[in-house]
Amino acid sequence: MPGLRSSEKKLGQLSGIFRDAQAFRGMDPDTIVYRVWWWEPVPGGTEGGLFWGLTEIQPGSVGDEYYMTHGHRHAVLDRAEFYGTTVGEGMLVLRDESGRSWFEAMKPGSLHYISGRVAHRVVNTGDVPLRFVACWPSDAGHDYQIAGGKGFGARVLRQNGKPSFTLTEE
Ligand code: S6P
Ligand code: ZN
């Protein structure tokens, strides 16, 4: 099908994202953290079209911080997005322009509406690959600057064997 794409994100491409730099340096940079398959039925930038994607995040952690996506907000700021979880458990970490950070629990069947202007990142807190589908406008684009290791104001860390959403000063 024309417009079908895929990409994989390896640990080495997520430098600066995880808090424990020492643990990060001790890991294999070729380890795949997540993969994305998506369909662009119209060219990127087309007004009025939609893209559809599937993301699969592996279980794992860097130190006590669970594997997660890089995170972004949309380049065209007011463009929203839907996420729907199909397999696994995780947390959708969100941050609005005022700097308020919060999360939504992800589990099979959970649906999430991400308003425009809100940065979004997904964390796999479970023992199996976390899969979610996404639908977003074809002219949304991506701005990855917000998440250059900082910018979300929150981290999901394993504490006493359980995921804990922790606000940070970053
Ligand atoms: C696109 C949508 C997802 C992410 C994917 C990977 O708007 O939010 O398809 O691109 O989950 O995350 P990231 O932060 O590396 O783009
Ligand atoms: Zn997005």
pLDDT of the residue at 1: 78
Q: What is the H or E stretch that residue 25 is in?
A: helix 21-25
- Bridge partners (DSSP) of residue 29 are none
Residue 88 CB–ligand 1 contact under 6 Å: no
Which structural domain, as residue segments, surrounds residue 56? Answer: 4-167
Residue 169 predicted with pLDDT over 90: no
pLDDT digits (tens, 9 = 90+) for 71-106: 999 999 999 999 999 999 999 999 999 999 999 999
Tell me, what CATH number does 32's domain have?
2.60.120.10
Burial of 34 (0-12, 13-18, 19+ CB in 10 A): buried
What is the count of structural domains for the chain?
Answer: 1
Atom of ligand 1 nearest to the CA of 114: 8
144 three-state secondary structure: coil
Checking if the pLDDT of 148 tops 60, the result is no
Q: For residues 58 and 121, give the distance between their C-alpha atoms in angstroms, rounded to a whole number.
A: 14
Q: What is the pLDDT of residue 132?
A: 99
Ligand 2 ion: Cβ-proximal residues, 5 Å cutoff? 81
| pLDDT per residue as tens digits for the range 21-42 | 999 999 999 999 999 999 999 9
Position 151 scores a pLDDT of 65
pLDDT > 80? residue 153: yes
Q: Count CB neighbours of 80 within 10 A.
A: 15
Spatial distance between the Cα atoms of 71 and 94, rounded to a whole number of angstroms: 9
Determine the average pLDDT of the residues in 45-54: 98
Pocket test for ligand 1, best of 6, 39, 55, 117 (most atoms within 8 A of CB): 55
pLDDT (tens digit per residue) in 106-145: 999 999 999 999 999 999 999 999 999 999 999 999 999 8
Long-range contacts of 27-36, Cβ-Cβ distance < 8 Å, separation of 24 or more: 27/62, 31/60, 32/8, 32/58, 33/9, 33/57, 33/58, 33/60, 33/67, 33/68, 34/8, 34/9, 34/58, 34/67, 34/69, 35/6, 35/7, 35/8, 35/9, 36/6, 36/7, 36/8, 36/9
Q: What are phi and psi of 79, to 5 degrees?
A: -85, 125
